Structure 1
């Protein structure tokens, strides 16, 4: 496909799913990727351990209907980072488009992303804005914006992930260069992004919403979960020890996470929205 005289490169969609996902959300997500204005020629879905019968039925449908749709089934739950590493081995293309199994990509997401990557070959990692919406009502909640240029991305990354993970596109060769994802069970996406940037990868964000991000009460509960809070702090300590961020960056972000953990559930969403702004 060509756009404004620029030849768009083929890409691989990489996604993982676990047994807790809702079949209707998975179906909506997969459809949103297969029905792109610039459709993928390679789609790798990693099943993170045994799934429910309902999820298996949804996946089987796509396996039979779409030649590009390929499935890797892991015998046990291994986590997002492990799934990404195993799925990357199967991906056929240099450009990898990440996707979460319950979000919805806007129709031009991949066309605009591949156009940007083709027009700016020096960019190694690309993202975009997301629109958070209430999973029950469909109501738009907030737009999560991210810095656009490489220098702003690097500065932002000292405290928070400068990319919205469901919008991420990157070069497979760069991931291989840094040794893939690490085995951290939470905050693996932030850890991955910082390691890419620290190794010299150039980042950029498209200042446009390209993915709708599903939010429900469980999202806020996970942010308040102690295991998640502890992992959040551990990853940021690792980033500080690597020299990528400073002690003040670590202190500020850790304090904010602890506040969120200690807040009552009724106030967590409000505090999170203030952080977005």
Structure 2
């Protein structure tokens, strides 16, 4: 018998109502292996349209939903921390409110956690917000040694794709504030702590690339988050001095190059072509 698991999904006022409804359905009712519980964390007040979509999705769900409302917008780190505390299960699957889970996602990830992995992500298709066109395919490192090596320079997991054991997350102190990089900081600490990790190379999540996606990867705020992260990684000796200097210089330059150059670099080194992708509509 498959171990029950919870789905953890945060939502806030910036999310689109239609996107949320599709994300919720794809991760709950349309899964071949459904979660036993949904923890929906509403991070602050939302507009009428999104509120109606949330209410309709919760009412129609065959899976019990804990709808946790936070009075004010507190940000992703605290929203996820409060959501994890409300999970009835040790296995927790993450999902964002504007992406799409493919039907076999949890059927392929959860057994890997049951078999001993404590953190497992998947590949992703990237699709355009405006017309659903598939524009990229992320294929992550899948073996633990490759993931550990890659993590010294890049985040080895795509946050919306992961399934983990809450006990392994709690063991390293859970989500902690790190600017815009709280997920990378968590995963690095889990790897440093010896967590059993892996990735399913197959894309099992469709990631929405909206307007401004590449602009958000650059600028001073992103650079400050980057610098704080690199100092933290060095502080726990996750990276060597040489790796720290390399990361600060190369990843730092990336934050300040013009957006078209940043987009081209991302497409060249992170996202691959995806001719075999399913429709995003």
Quick check: 2:10–2:43 contact (8 Å CA) kept in 1? yes
For 1:166-245, what aligned pairs fall within 5 Å after superposition?
166-245=160-239
Report the more deviating stretch, 143-152 or 95-104. 143-152
Look up the match of 1:97.
Answer: 93
Partner in structure 2 of residue 48 of structure 1: 43
Deviations 1:11-58 (A, max 9, x none): 100011111111111111001011101111200111111111111111
TM-aligned CA deviation for residue 178 of structure 1: 1.7
| TM-score computed with the length of structure 2 as normaliser | 0.91
TM-score (norm 1): 0.92
Match of 1:218, SS state, is coil
Any gaps of 5 or more consecutive residues in structure 2?
A: 272-281
Other-structure match for 2:277: none
Task: Please state how far the C-alpha of 1:77 moved relative to its aligned partner.
Answer: 1.5
Moved over 6 A (4+): none
Q: What is aligned with 1:273?
A: 267
State the distance in 1 between where 2:199 and 2:266 align. 22
Alignment of 1:45-194 (within 5 A): 45-66=40-61, 67-118=63-114, 120-121=115-116, 123-194=117-188
Kindly tell me the number of residue pairs found equivalent between the two proteins: 269
- For 1:207 and 1:19, the matched residues in 2 are separated by 32
CA distance, structure 1, for counterparts of residue 269 and residue 219 of structure 2: 18
Residue 151 of structure 1 aligns to a residue whose secondary structure is helix
Unaligned runs of 5+ in 1: 1-6
- Cα distance in 1 between the residues matched to 2:236 and 2:204: 32
CA contact (8 A) 2:178 2:228 kept: no
Aligned residues: CA RMSD? 1.4
